[in-house]
Amino acid sequence: MADEWKSGIVWPIPSVIDPGPPTALPSPIPSDAIRLFDGKNLDAWHSGDKWLVHDGVAQVRNTDITSRESFGDCQVHLEFRTPDVVSGTGQGRGNSGIFLMGLYELQILDSFDNETYSDGQCGAIYKQHPPMVNACRKPGAWQSFDIHFQSPRFNPDGSVKRAGIIDVAHNGVAIHTAVQIAGTTAWDSPPQYLPHAATLPLRLQNHGNPVEFRNIWVRPLVPIVGSRPQ
């Protein structure tokens, strides 16, 4: 097995806060959103048929799934819950994650009374940046991520013109604002940027835990551009 990579940065443990109770129903979907999962099936995902869809919920099975559609700058909403029957500790409890562009992981973990490294807990940019606060709900309770993502930009020579930038609300609570993503988010190697397409699929992680999802949608972010008539 490869050796674990650590950044060497010492982070405080994010304060635990109560974000308030979950909503019983999935939150409303904007009219222009692209629905990636609305409780019916995972047809919008490669390998979606490998996961279990039941009662309007998609449960992680033995593989990652990747969206058929590709996205660059985008708003993502997703709702997830970690298993109500708690098993495992640290990174082994309720672990999944959403990889923006398939490369940059926003960690999903049961971080409710479950110690792990700060930059690996729920809401962390994995191995790079902890959330400002720990806004987790109890295991088995529905939670949400609302993500605004600006993809990295590359120069023609492949160097980084501008890092990826991410804003995240966890259960409605701001946990990242304008955080620069340092690159890929591997367990065993430092972040790096290799030039890639302007849009790439989203990926949801199988980490061996039966995390469940409902209500996943995306809105590509298209800037509004003004003009000054002569």
Contact residues for Mg ion, defined by CB under 5 A: 95, 97, 107, 205
Q: Which is nearer to Mg ion, 60 or 132 (CB)?
A: 60
Shortest gap between Cβ of 104 and Mg ion (angstroms)?
A: 12
**Chain residue at closest Cβ approach to Mg ion:** 97
Which amino acid is residue 100, in one-letter code?
L
Q: Which is nearer to Mg ion, 117 or 154 (CB)?
A: 117
**What is the rounded CA–CA span in Å between residue 44 and residue 32?**
16
Q: Which is nearer to Mg ion, 33 or 189 (CB)?
A: 189
Q: CA nearest 76: which of 147, 11, 6, 135?
A: 147
Place of tokens 């590509």: 220
Shortest gap between Cβ of 210 and Mg ion (angstroms)?
A: 14
Shortest gap between Cβ of 103 and Mg ion (angstroms)?
A: 13
**What is the rounded CA–CA span in Å between residue 213 and residue 81?**
7
End-to-end Cα spacing for the chain: 64
Which residues are within 8 A (CB) of 228 and not within 5 positions of it... i.e. 6 or more apart? Answer: none
> H-helix or E-strand containing 221?
none
Q: Which is nearer to Mg ion, 121 or 151 (CB)?
A: 121
Shortest gap between Cβ of 70 and Mg ion (angstroms)?
A: 21
